[in-house]
Structure 1
Amino acid sequence: MRFSVLGPLTANHHGKGVPLGGLRQRTVLAFLLLHPNNSVSTQRLIGALWGANEPTTARKSVQNALSGLRKAFLTHHQSGDAPVALRTEGRGYVLRIPPEHIDLGRHHLLLERGARELADRSWEAAARTLREALGLWRGEVLADLVEAGIEWPELAVVREARWKALEDRIVADLMLGRHREVVAELGLAADAEPVRERLCRLHMVALYRTGRQTDALEVYRRTRSVLAERFGTGPGPRLRDLEQYVLAHDPELTAPGAVLRLAA
């Protein structure tokens, strides 16, 4: 079986969708998929389902959900498949699954490879690897469960990994001279996350290198305004320095390796 969490929660077996049960059972599965091959206690699962509003039937409800998941795994298991098993270990439950059978696991593996390629300055390989990682996304992480009211700290970590993958891929593209190709994409990303200063710096560099100094300065001013409005603070020193480089048409902006220094 293969599972997807980078979008609505889904499972498939040999290309066919697998029913995952009701919201409670799907939520338990989703939490286990975020912690594959690690023990998760009953109390953590209860917290994931109800937060501080634990009902008296919580423990029994979790056990019923786990039982339903075990039946689904057994129903769709065939000889020769890589095993997916839900086991009781100590005081918790462990979803035993190969990491590559979860899109998030494949995402992590690609990000690790992309990071190595960036460190080796293999820009084309890094851009390709990180583009593949980003291509695994089908929408908001666990979109259907988030819509139903689920919000866990783990989801923020996954979202951050997606943004870092995008920024790293754009660094690779800029190092390959693809300034014009990424400008529009950077504009959309900056609109979605105007307080990400690294994204702002990348956007400013790409705009400047395509001859749009005024637009680069406008991106800076917008980010400064949003930071002040939301957090009562201003841009960090790297972003402030970049504004000065743009104002002065500093040669640093077009020097070899400048993207790495400016977007670190």
Structure 2
Amino acid sequence: MLTRTYRFTKGRTMTTLEGKVAIITGARRGIGRAEALTLAGAGAKVVVCDIVFDDEMTSLQDEIAAAGGESLAFACDVTKKDDIDHVVAQTIATYGRVDILVNNAQTGLTPVPWEELSDKLFTQSFESGPLASFRFMQACFPYMKAQGWGRIINTSSGASRGGVPNFGHYAAAKGAIASLTYAAATDWGQYGITANVIYPAILTPALKGYLEAEPSRRAEMEARVPVRYVGDPLDDLGPIVLFLASDASGYLTGHPFFVDGGAGQGPR
């Protein structure tokens, strides 16, 4: 857990999120779980949701509680607007505010050859990605606007910039999330709300399983990363998300953050 606090002028702090409330989607495992643990470790009350509520969600709440944090957890199918509205409504009913939204949930993670790519899969990718992100943002916006402070952190992917075979559906959805972020940054900055987008290349459980299936895969992947290792969700992504969720990032909005060890070589 992160405990050190950095203080800046105008009372800004980077790692203290005391009094803040954060919603994290896709929080059951991998990147979303690390984001939830990081923000909770910095003092935020976290509302975690995923498509199912299972032992992994329970263990996440237990881990947060063991470290002295506080959380709510919900099953939420992000393709259903009613589920999204329920999560936000329960957040407000319980905590009276929402300060930070981290949109991480996304389906369509399996590569599909172009000739087999269906309208259904393409639509599902958009419903779970940019449409779900938009709906969560729209549901949180009135509360952030009223309090004059908010942080939106959306999740895109390097796949949206090409270089990953047979990911047309996923790439298009992730590219739309980036554009949605930039549009929100344009319109919402006047209300003290920032909107930024991360492009993580991180060692999630799914990626770890893939790399370990063949002994040569990890070495080949790490050779393509300038820092020569694949980042850890907590150690390498966590501090970036914490910064973007904090007071310290108040002058940054509409920016892409490539958390990838240099592999992406910046925006196209």
Please indicate the TM-score interval, normalised by the length of the shorter structure: under 0.3
Higher relative contact order (CA 8 A, sep 6+): 2
Rg comparison, structure with higher value: 1
Say which structure is richer in helix. 1
Q: Given the two structures, how large is their TM-score scaled by the length of structure 1? A: 0.27
Say which structure is richer in strand. 2
Q: Given the two structures, how large is their TM-score scaled by the length of structure 2? A: 0.27
